[in-house]
Amino acid sequence: MGTGFTIDTPLRVARYGISSVISLVDDVLIEQMRKYHCDTTGESYEEIPDSDGDARANRITAYLNLLGRLVKKQMEALRESPFEEDSEITRYFRLLPESRLKNEYYVMLGTTNPEKKALIQAELRKRVVPGSIDVNIMTKLDRERYNRGDKLPPEFSDARSALRGFARSTLNSSIVCSAGMNRGFYSYFTDFEDFFPDAEGSLRKKIILKVSDFRSAEIQGKFLAKRGLWVSEYRIESGLNCGGHAFPTKGMLLGPIMEEFREKRRELAEKLHDIYNDALDALGRSRINEASDVKITAQGGIGTADENTMLLEYYKVDGTGWGTPFLLVPEVVSVDEAHLAKIAAAGDKDVFLSGSSPLGVPFWNLHSSASEETRRKRIAENRPGSPCRKGYLMLDTEISEEPVCRASAKYQRRRLTMLNEENHSPEQHSALKADILGKSCLCHDLAGGAVVKYGIDPGATTAICPGPNIVNFSKIISLQEMVDHIYDRISLISNPERPNLFVRELMLYIDYFKEEVEKSSLDLTNRTQKYLNEFRENLLDGIDYYMELADEFFEEQKERIVGDINALKAELDSIPLAVTV
């Protein structure tokens, strides 16, 4: 997602019933986009300056309200458009999967009686609904804010200000919380009425948690339920086979993780529902008599309709997420033309799991992006690091009491000086230096695709964070083509040797495990022998799981996939575990 790729995606797809998610990290970008879309649509615009007492929250509220108004206008125009070739309402129905509603559209097309046809069309217009305008907050990006050197109250931290901005908006949609648990942030939800059920038991604003495993879902779900807050969806994402920031598990693979959700989802819902009702009682609110709905969805590396169907039918998920391939769909995302071409041309060596993120979390990166090229140029010119323009990742206190960003020139110059004063072996020194210099200015650069495309900041150095699945798609794609690919009407896969999504994730985890072992051997991490042994055992358990269910999952591809898994098991078995304990 980045901060800029989907910043105005609802204006592109919501009217076709497609939901999307906007990042709320960058309120500077959000304000720039609000001005741009006000100017292009004739909406009035009044700047919300930095000097505003609650600028971050107010900018987010104003932008989300603008999107809500504009999408409402788009929907009104779409419903009024004629059922003619290339009209908006025709496009809406053509994009639908095969379904009861799509069949009713086909019936309308085949109806020759004008009066009957008009009646069917009127009914179809009523059935047209917009996609949801959802938002995302990385819970750990909760920088404290200061005013003239004085720390502001906790509610003015970055994550809580963003939550306040969403909560005060007119949207009836969901917030996706990612990057793990933040107790203070989660508790702040209780300040806003929209997250509690109304008299009919409905939620105006819903909570979605992006989780890496069942235990994480249960812990976070309980914490929120005890406060009278319901998690409407648990969004399972592969720890490594994803885009942007990656949050590797301890070797637990997507298949076994989803199996646990499949087996325990009802138990989870019932357990949390009891806790939820007890909390509502304590708050003097009405109980929810019937067990509340819990959706389970999955994302990460899905590339074919067969894989999508397998997740829906075998694991009984309520939906799937396709992110990375949409980077090649300019109708949907904001990516400048130069980087669209770079993404389409990307091969295996161009997309890499990097140490670029100042958060210290693995981050998928595009080697040929302007951001990466600029980072390498600064190092070559002996001026490493970036100017810190936005400061959302000013979280490190290693070199000073005042938090700084690890991608900043200030941090990197000081940290390199410290490194030269430390006692390390040549191998350790080289690895630590590479880690320091590897950090990029993601706050500014992830907005590049949007601000360059719209001419807001033509000189921005765009960062691109596709998942590894992008190398299987090699051309710029229309929205219709992408939807047709997802629903198995056409195939856009350009790599005939593309491995199955489970096999690909296993490959990624073995590569990651090798790096963890290497770091341990150099004493560059606190990973213990116990940790690495557990990691390996989890991978082996995952391999056994896939082999047992090969017939269920793989069908025609079984022979190749089983062969791939056996080869990967042999590779895993060959990795030595000589570490410092």
Mean pLDDT of the chain: 95
Report how far apart, in Å, the C-alpha atoms of 335 and of each of 339, 365, 454, 464 are: 7, 15, 10, 9
Let me know: does 236 contact 211? Beta carbons within 8 Å: yes
Q: What is the DSSP letter of 350?
A: T
Give the Cα separation of 152 and 345 in Å (integer).
Answer: 47
- Residue 368 tokens, joined: 């040929």
Model pLDDT, residue 581: 41
Give the Cα separation of 311 and 320 in Å (integer).
Answer: 8
Name the residue among 153, 274, 352, 192 with its Cα closest to residue 207: 192
pLDDT in tens, 210-250: 999 999 999 999 999 999 999 999 999 999 999 999 999 99
Signed CA dihedral, 316, 129, 211, 344: sign only: positive
- Residue 482 tokens, joined: 């992408």
Phi, psi of 238, rounded to the nearest 5 degrees:
-55, 140
Q: What mean pLDDT comes out for the span 518-523?
A: 90
pLDDT in tens, 157-185: 999 999 999 999 999 999 999 988 999 99
Has residue 406 got a pLDDT over 60?
Answer: yes
pLDDT in tens, 322-381: 999 999 999 999 999 999 999 999 999 999 999 999 999 999 999 999 999 999 999 999
Q: Spell out the alpha helix ranges (H) of 363-408.
A: 370-380
* Radius of gyration of the chain, Cα coordinates, nearest whole angstrom: 25
Model pLDDT, residue 580: 45
pLDDT in tens, 280-289: 999 999 999 8
Report how far apart, in Å, the C-alpha atoms of 325 and of each of 13, 479, 481, 524 are: 15, 11, 11, 35
Has residue 124 got a pLDDT over 80?
Answer: yes
pLDDT in tens, 253-276: 999 999 999 999 999 999 999 999
> At a CB cut-off of 8 Å and minimum separation 6, what does 556 contact?
none
